[in-house]
């Protein structure tokens, strides 16, 4: 059984920074789908990858997208 380590200030800060960056990239990527000068799909994938470390739905979406791209 794995014992949970107490979160230090640094790990909480890094997690918060990762979550903020992933969320911002995801939102900019969604806007990029409508705007012709932004690479929307690329930003969405990067945002999902950043969020996928701690957010289960983002990890599932990222794996689904990778499987779909591998098929084409």
Q: What is the DSSP string of 28-66?
A: HHHHHTTSTTS-HHHHHHHHHHHHTTT-HHHHHHHHHHH
Residue 19 has pLDDT above 70, yes or no: yes
pLDDT of residue 3: 58
Contact between 63 and 57 under an 8 Å Cβ cutoff? The reply is no
Residue range 29-68, pLDDT digits in tens:
989 888 888 888 888 888 888 888 888 888 888 888 888 8
> Within a domain: residue 4?
no
Q: Is the pTM of this model over 0.75?
A: no
> Within a domain: residue 5?
no
> Within a domain: residue 1?
no
H/E stretch holding 25: helix 9-32
Residue 1 has pLDDT above 60, yes or no: no
Tally of domains within the chain: 1
> Within a domain: residue 28?
yes
> Within a domain: residue 6?
no
> Within a domain: residue 54?
yes
Which domain range does residue 62 map to?
Answer: 13-71
24 band by pLDDT with thresholds 50, 70 and 90: very high
For residues 26 and 15, what is the distance between their CA atoms, to the nearest angstrom?
A: 16
> Within a domain: residue 2?
no
């Amino acid at each position: 059984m794995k014992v949970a380590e107490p979160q230090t200030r640094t790990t909480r800060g890094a997690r918060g920074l990762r979550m903020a960056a992933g969320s911002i990239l995801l939102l900019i990527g969604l806007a990029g789908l409508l705007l012709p000068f932004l690479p929307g799909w690329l930003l969405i994938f990067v945002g999902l990858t950043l969020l996928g470390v701690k957010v289960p739905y983002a990890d599932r979406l990222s794996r689904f997208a990778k499987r779909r791209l591998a098929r084409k």
